[in-house]
Amino acid sequence: MSKTAIVIFSDPKAGSEEALGRLFNAMFVAYELKEKGQEVALIFQGAGVRWASEIVKPEHPAHGLYQAVKDTIVGVCGGCADVFGATADVKATGLSLVREKEIPGTAGIIDLSRYLDEGYRLVTF
C-alpha cells in the first residue's frame, strides 16, 4: 500500500488566493488518497501552522473538507507554531502540537525525515 505525507507550508497571512489554493489542494489530495484506502499523513509545518486556527471555523471555506480529512492530520509542528506565533491558537483547536525532534533553537519539530525513512512519499503545498 502507498503511503503519502502531505505537508502544508502555505501561509494564510499572505491573504492570497494562491495560499488558500495550496491549502485546498493539499486537503484534496489527502481526501482522494483516503478514499482509495491509502495511508495519509497531513502535516502543518512552517507558516502553514497558522491554517490550523482558520480551518476549524465553521464559516471558513475549507472547513467542510477539513472535517472530511481531519483524521489524517498527524499534527502541527510545535517549533514552527512557536516561531510563527501560533502556539496558543493551535492549542485552542485541539490539534496536536508535535515536538518529536529537537532542533537547536526550538522546543522541537515534526520529524519529516521519519516519514521518508518509513517509505512515505512527501508532497508539499
pLDDT 10s digits, 8-62? 999 999 989 999 999 999 999 999 999 999 999 999 999 999 999 999 999 999 9
Report the pLDDT value the prediction gives residue 59, as an integer from 0 to 100.
Answer: 98
Task: Calculate the dihedral angle through the C-alpha atoms of 101, 110, 108, 12, rounding to the nearest 10 degrees.
Answer: 160
Report the pLDDT value the prediction gives residue 80, as an integer from 0 to 100.
Answer: 97
Nearest to 12, CA basis, from 1, 2, 23, 3: 23
Report the pLDDT value the prediction gives residue 76, as an integer from 0 to 100.
Answer: 98
Report the pLDDT value the prediction gives residue 10, as an integer from 0 to 100.
Answer: 97
pLDDT 10s digits, 57-94? 999 999 999 999 999 999 999 999 999 999 999 999 99
What single string gives the DSSP state of each residue in 54-110? Answer: HHTSTTSTTHHHHHHHGGGEEEEEHHHHHHTT-HHHHHHHTPPEE--B--TTSS-B-
pLDDT 10s digits, 91-112? 999 999 999 999 999 999 999 9
Q: What is the value of pTM for the model shown? A: 0.95
Report the pLDDT value the prediction gives residue 43, as an integer from 0 to 100.
Answer: 98
Give all domains of the chain, ordered by start, each with its CATH number.
3-124 (3.40.1260.10)
Report the pLDDT value the prediction gives residue 95, as an integer from 0 to 100.
Answer: 96
Is 7 in contact with 124 (CB distance < 8 Å)?
Answer: yes
Nearest to 48, CA basis, from 73, 81, 70, 25: 81
